[in-house]
Chains A and B, each alone.
Chain A
Amino acid sequence: AQKVTQAQTEISVVEKEDVTLDCVYETRDTTYYLFWYKQPPSGELVFLIRRNSFDEQNEISGRYSWNFQKSTSSFNFTITASQVVDSAVYFCALSDYTNAGKSTFGDGTTLTVKP
């Protein structure tokens, strides 16, 4: 069975601080996908990134970066120079390779960025 753990339930930072959201996963599959989604107060989940299990390169997109370490089964998400608009619930998710849209989600981390 697959499992995703986001140990940080809530994080609060002041604007311009860097913040890292942790994600640890469990799976018996050798190939899989990992995802991060953002859920703002409006409720609509917004896709941020997908990672294949065989690609451990870190990725940067603007102020966002992702660190995938297969050895520790972690897929952490860092926001650099946080902004108030980053306030949301962030979900990490895992799916197997045969049905990538069928994901197991963590319980999310609520990020609050204060001005």
Chain B
Amino acid sequence: GAGVSQTPSNKVTEKGKYVELRCDPISGHTALYWYRQSLGQGPEFLIYFQGTGAADDSGLPNDRFFAVRPEGSVSTLKIQRTERGDSAVYLCASSLRGGANGWTGELFFGEGSRLTVL
């Protein structure tokens, strides 16, 4: 499809397990963002990639969270030793560029990956 694709759409895991969430952005979009949305709240920024590099990872809550984008397209968010508090919807978004110059101002979001940690 033409939009941002996220897999899996739902993931149930047990506390302490390792989880990977995948994001396939719109083709040609160089900027990629991960957000986390807890029930009843707005999305919270986690990390931003411009190309292959993490340009801003200030939103990652702790060192159990890590994300990669090795070829500048698909990104994987990795969560180690999951905790019940990690349960949320993880949203991925992409845009043509990440900076202010020439940016259209529009982020395209996927439908999210719902993570439930039992």
The residues of A with any CB-CB pair to B shorter than 8 Å are: 4, 33, 35, 37, 42-47, 50, 91, 93, 97-108
Contacts and interface: CB of A to CB of B under 8 A. Distances in A.
A93 to B, nearest CB: 7
Nearest to B45: A102
Contacts of B108: 47
B99 interface: yes
Interface of B: 3, 31, 33, 40-45, 48, 55-56, 59, 89, 91, 93, 95, 98-100, 103, 105-112
A105 B100 contact: no
A33 B43 contact: no
19 contacts: A35-B105, A44-B3, A45-B91, A45-B107, A46-B109, A97-B100, A98-B99, A98-B100, A99-B56, A99-B99, A99-B100, A101-B33, A101-B93, A101-B95, A101-B98, A102-B56, A104-B45, A106-B42, A107-B42
B45 A100 contact: no
A93 B43 CA distance: 9
A38 B65 CA distance: 28
Given A50-B105, A100-B100, 9 more contacts: A4-B42, A43-B112, A44-B3, A45-B43, A47-B107, A99-B48, A101-B98, A101-B103, A102-B59
A48 to B, nearest CB: 10
Given A101-B33, A101-B95, A47 B45 contact: no
Given A99-B98, A101-B48, A101-B95, A44 B42 contact: no
A102 B43 contact: no
Given A101-B93, A102-B56, A107 B111 contact: no
Nearest to A108: B42
